[in-house]
A and B are shown apart, each in its own frame.
Chain A
Amino acid sequence: MLRVVGLAIGIAMLGMMVSCGGSKQDSVVVYTALDEIYSRPILDAFTAETGISVQAVYDTEAAKTTGLVTRLISERGRPRCDVFWNNEVAQTILLQERGVLAPFKPAASDAIPATFKDPEFYWTGFAARARVIIYNTDRVIEPPTSIQDFIRPEHKGQCAIALPLFGTTATHAAALFAAWGEADAMAFFQKLVDNEVAFVAGNGVVRDAVARGEYAFGLTDTDDANGAVVDGFPVRWLLPDQDGLGTLLIPNTVALIKDGPNPTAAERLIEYLLSPEVEKRLSESRSIQIPLNPSVSAPESVPDNATIHTMTPSFSEMAAQMEESATQLRALLVR
């Protein structure tokens, strides 16, 4: 009996090794950091429209183990990925600096504002999210309007943000380093610590903690905040610092991988992702992503990119601060 089982296992293994996986013709491999529930339907639609099968590897900013960026750097010698669809921009720029990306100018990028694409076309942005304040309406009477409210003494111990070493919160921290300078930014984070702000595992945890009323308000992304609203929790969200520093907008970015195995299919996928239909679809989804293409009309609940007062540092300035901010904040917060 056991010999039969062993033989069956051996045959199954052999079958898998011979038949499954690997790169096929008319296929494209995409590593995507955008949440699977939003990215999978779009990739399925691409397959339905073009007949090109998409092999996707998903990741999330909250997984924060090592992620797709480490994988892309490690696989640089023999890339297995064709397209990197990131849900933020700073790490895409770092990949560009590491020589992982190849320049590609998609026709669809013409409609994207210059701020949201690389001048040398190593990456193109689309469908942005905003960093927003989410607050619990049962606990908050006068909503906070600025990230400076997190350090006001009357809010001591009542706020939460994600650990600013990972995901969009890391990008936000780098943006503050770029906007204020290292000393002022570190002083701000020190005040957050002194005001007993909770540094939690991710933006999703911030959303849940505020939704449950464990904290009065927190800093998260539009997709997380809107999800809590849609689910009926007693929460609302707003764009912070519209009268001062501005709100950080973080676009999705798409980039062609240098020497990827399926370049032609990869270029078609990039063109598809930058199409107005995809931006519209993402804006209509639960994640209410903000279209960057001015011709795309979004639902009313989605903030209008043209009217948002955004933070001034460029994405390359933010990316340049990533390492410094992560090093300093790790020393401050991980202890």
Chain B
Amino acid sequence: MTEGLHQRFTWPMCGLAAMLLLLCLSPVVAAVLPLLGAPAESITEALTLLSSTRLWGLWLKSCAIAVGTVGVALVLGAPLGYCLHILTGARRTLLPALLSAPLFLPPHVMAVAWIDVLGPHGLVASWGIPLPALYTPMGVALVQALSWYPIPLFAVWLHLRQQDPRIADAAKTLAPGPFVFWHVTAPLLRPALLTGALIVFLLSLLNFSVPSLLQVPVFTVEIFSSFNSLLDQRQAVLLAAPLVATGLLLGTLLFRFAPRIVQQPIQSPRATPRTRTIARRYAVAVSVLLLGLPAAALLFRIGTPHALWGAWQTGAHEIGTSLLLSGVGATLLLLLTLPLALQTRRRHPVLLTSLAIAYLVSGPVLGVGLIACWNHGGVPGYLYDRFPILLIATTSRYAFFSWLGVLLVVRWLPKEIPDAARCFGATPGQVFWRVTFPLIRRPLLALWMGLFLLLMGELECIVLIAPPGWVPVSLRIYTLMHYGPTAMVSALALLQGLASLLVLGGLSQLFSQNRVYTPGESRYHSYS
């Protein structure tokens, strides 16, 4: 009976799902439609290109870079997530904020900072330490991973917080610690690792800015050059097909073989003082190294506080636009996806695939589709000429990540509790605000923050549609990078990071006050 309650898809929910699908798929369809009217020779030309070994060599290189990025990000991020988990009260310290800092800056800015540190004429080379070449596919993978390692880190950390340590305790009575880690903890982590890996893989596959800075041609160059050099939008759309297929195939395999997430009440972690000391030292050392070096490079470029003030004076409006876009956008994404996820608790392959396609077609293709959809007279044109088009664009592009996230969040919710409330006559609003929301507010906040940061870094889609006067700071930074990594670029990047930190830090504080019982709290601490 309760299962039935959760799987019922009411008419309002059908309407919401239809709206989400329309929002995400309409630009894709609008971008693809011109292919139908394309002259045969144009299609033949594009198909010849699609069958060329050069193109598939590029695809292979892009995939290899994405796999390398995933590998390095997992190696860096997963142990740090585990360290955060065993550090009691880590969530109240600066450590999570420090470790997540690379996400606060656009990857191309981080790339510039890492070039200053690890490049052939960088800081480390000046100490006489030999380094492998940075301007290679492996260098791209390394630099991208240094931007995105917080994704697996937080996936692991949040997932471990959901686990019941009684499982590990029970295992410890039968076997030594390492056995417990490899045979109990690690398998339980697989869903978090796979989700983190998928997100990093997709981000890497579609990234253009970092490979271009490091002079490594990748598959996305084909799409961009079709747009910019050949002015051939049809070819660009066709060239997006391998990326869409790759992402969908990988996602399908992952979801098919990934185990279901274990629903357990959260318990406080317990570790020996020595383990905690080691974990703390390791986490601090890594955060100092991975944040301190690029931050030092950025600060060195900024030079004086005057440059920072100058950047604030010229870029305050763009930073405000970015904050507004990211804050409202992340909220809108949750408003669109959370009710659906709460109602159905299922992936819904059609919905998931549709949302994934909207991301995988790449930003420029989606941007062209958005122009075709919204640049008309009447209400669409009214929205297109103003700020809402940025919201529409980011919602279309990132709904996939929001849907993935809310599915994870609602699976952490013990479904019997809201069902019990319903049985006692609570209205849907009461169930949500008094039962469901208090139970999921922490993972929901974490998801909102993740979406906020994704939207802060958005570049490829909005470059085509940003209305005059509404330019986000990520776009301004990339535009200014034409003059090289100047003090202004570094200062704006730093201000963007600080602004994000302030918003997210403030929200964390707000949510940590007036705490109510959640499954993560310490009701069961005394069982040991």
Q: Which residues of A line the B interface, CB within 8 A?
A: 1, 6, 9, 12-13, 16-17, 20-23, 29, 35-37, 55-67, 69-71, 73-75, 77-78, 80, 91, 94, 98, 165-166, 170, 198-202, 204-205, 207-208, 212-214, 227, 322-323, 326-327, 330-331, 333-335
Contacts and interface: CB of A to CB of B under 8 A. Distances in A.
Interface in B212-254: 212-213, 215, 217, 221-222, 224-225, 227-231, 233
Contacts of A198: 215
Given A166-B228, A335-B54, 12 more contacts: A13-B328, A16-B388, A17-B383, A57-B466, A59-B463, A65-B364, A66-B368, A70-B231, A71-B371, A74-B464, A331-B52, A334-B221
Interface stretch (B278-286, B345-353, B373-381): B373-381
A16 B387 contact: yes
A201 B479 contact: no
Interface in B424-464: 459-460, 463-464
A60 B482 contact: yes
Contact of B375 (A35, A66, A77, A98): A77
A66 B464 contact: yes
A57 B324 CA distance: 19
B385 A80 contact: yes
A20 B228 CA distance: 30
B484 interface: yes
B120 interface: yes
B388 A335 contact: no
Contacts of B467: 21-22, 57, 80
Given A67-B228, A333-B217, A207 B484 contact: yes
Contacts of B364: 65-66, 70
B368 A214 contact: no
B231 A35 contact: no
A61 B54 contact: no
Interface string B377-401: 1000111111110010000000000
Given A69-B228, A200-B215, A57 B468 contact: yes
B382 A22 contact: yes
Contacts of A59: 463, 479
A63 B482 contact: yes
A69 B230 contact: no
A273 B165 CA distance: 70
A22 B385 contact: yes
Nearest to B212: A201
Select the residue from B221, B228, B478 with max chain A CB neighbours within 10 A: B228
B208 interface: yes
13 contacts: A16-B324, A17-B382, A35-B483, A36-B479, A63-B482, A65-B363, A71-B464, A75-B371, A80-B384, A80-B385, A198-B215, A202-B482, A204-B482
A57 B328 CA distance: 23
A203 B104 CA distance: 28
Contacts of B52: 331
A270 B230 CA distance: 27
Contact of B231 (A57, A62, A69, A331): A69
Given A74-B371, A165-B228, A66 B54 contact: no
| Leading 6 A-B pairs by shortest Cβ distance | A55-B468, A21-B386, A326-B229, A60-B482, A62-B482, A74-B371
B208 A65 contact: yes
Nearest to A329: B229
B469 A20 contact: yes
Contact of B229 (A200, A214, A322): A322
B372 interface: yes
Contacts of A207: 484
B203 interface: no
Given A65-B208, A331-B54, A23 B385 contact: yes
A323 B228 CA distance: 10
Contacts of A75: 371, 375
Given A9-B327, A61-B482, A165-B229, A212 B387 contact: no
A29 B384 CA distance: 14
A207 B371 CA distance: 35
Interface string B34-77: 00000000000000000010100110000000000000000000
Interface of B: 52, 54, 57-58, 120-121, 208, 212-213, 215, 217, 221-222, 224-225, 227-231, 233, 324, 327-328, 331, 363-364, 367-368, 371-372, 375-377, 381-388, 391, 459-460, 463-471, 478-485, 510
A35 B480 CA distance: 8
A9 B448 CA distance: 15
Contact of A70 (B222, B228, B328, B482): B228
A36 B482 CA distance: 10
Nearest to A71: B464
A35 B468 CA distance: 16
A70 B464 contact: yes
B313 to A, nearest CB: 14
A25 B233 CA distance: 33
A66 B227 contact: yes
Nearest to A19: B386
Nearest to B221: A334
Nearest to A54: B468
A227 B484 CA distance: 11
A33 to B, nearest CB: 10
Select the residue from A37, A61, A66, A327 with max chain B CB neighbours within 10 A: A66
Given A21-B467, A21-B468, A22-B385, A208 B121 contact: no
B331 A9 contact: yes
A60 B463 CA distance: 11
Contacts of A322: 229
A330 B224 CA distance: 11
Nearest to B376: A78
Contacts of B375: 74-75, 77-78, 80
Nearest to A60: B482
Contacts of A202: 482
Select the residue from A29, A56, A201, A331 with max chain B CB neighbours within 10 A: A201
A151 to B, nearest CB: 19
A204 B208 CA distance: 17
B58 A334 contact: yes
Nearest to B377: A78
Contacts of A201: 212-213, 215
Contacts of A57: 466-468, 471
A35 to B, nearest CB: 6
Select the residue from A62, A65, A330 with max chain B CB neighbours within 10 A: A65
B88 to A, nearest CB: 28
Nearest to A213: B121
A63 B470 CA distance: 18
A21 B470 CA distance: 8
Nearest to B513: A1
B230 A326 contact: yes
A262 to B, nearest CB: 12
A20 B221 contact: no
Given A57-B468, A63-B479, A65-B364, A20 B215 contact: no
A74 B387 CA distance: 19
